[in-house]
Amino acid sequence: MQEANDEGRVKSGARAGDGRKPRADAIRNRERVLEAAKAVFSQGGPAASLEGVARQAGVGIGTLYRHFPTREALFEAVYRREVEQLVELVQALKAEASPAEALRLWLRANVAFVATKKGMLAALALATQKNPDLMAYSSDRLTQAVGELLARGAAAGEIRDDIGPEDVLRALIGMCYAQDRPDWQDSVLRLIDVFVDGLRLRGQPPG
């Protein structure tokens, strides 16, 4: 009768309403399933077999379903995680590269993401249709992340300050949208270089 949990939205994971900590094996298995799901969805798209995911994760199908009661829940968890990784990449790049270069590398990483995870994109189309919040959430997170890169560049006088993060994301989406030919990646990578060059301020500060 306790257990009204089911959490704000996220199910299945850590303690929330009830102050209890999940068991160690539960955490481990949850992780395994997520890892396997990432691979399987990337490869096979949104209709990929969940039993296949469980097999690859080395857990029973029942375990998979306890952690993620629906296909959408599983996909959503995988996707949120990917978004989080892209956000973290921003932090890492800030430490390693000049502002403009960091932006360029981050955009390139996104292209790689799209290219590697083809199936995930189709799955995303399905998932956002059933749960619009997911799109809103990821847009916010990514906008904020790009915003940091831009602000840093602007502060350093390396990048113009009249282009907002939404514009950059929209450009990225637009460029990745037309996956009409086998060599679309090359094309988009070139476009990104051009785009970042366009964002650069010409009169460079010392350094």
**Which residues in this chain contact a second copy in the complex, by CB under 8 A?**
45-47, 118-119, 121-122, 124-126, 128-129, 132, 135-136, 139, 170, 173-174, 177-182
Among 6, 51, 140, 197, binds DNA (CB under 7 A): 51
> What is the rounded distance in angstroms from the CA atom of residue 152 to the CA atom of residue 98?
9
Span from 26-34, 90-98, 112-120, 188-196 in contact with DNA (CB under 7 A): 26-34
Q: Is 42 a binder of DNA (CB under 7 A)? A: no
Q: What six digits make up the tokens of 165?
A: 């993060």
Instruction: Identify the CA nearest to 145 among candidates 194, 75, 82, 77.
Output: 82
CB of 129 or CB of 139, closer to DNA: 129
Among 5, 7, 16, 21, binds DNA (CB under 7 A): 21
Instruction: Identify the CA nearest to 148 among candidates 81, 69, 80, 93.
Output: 93
> Minimum distance from CB of 118 to a second copy (Å)?
6
CB of 69 or CB of 174, closer to a second copy: 174
Q: Say if CB 4 and CB 17 are below 8 A apart.
A: yes
In a 10 Å sphere around its CB, with 0-12 CB exposed, 13-18 middle and 19+ buried, how is residue 136 labelled? exposed
Q: CB under 5 to 8 A by kind: which of DNA, a second copy, none does 202 bind?
A: none
159: helix, strand or coil: strand
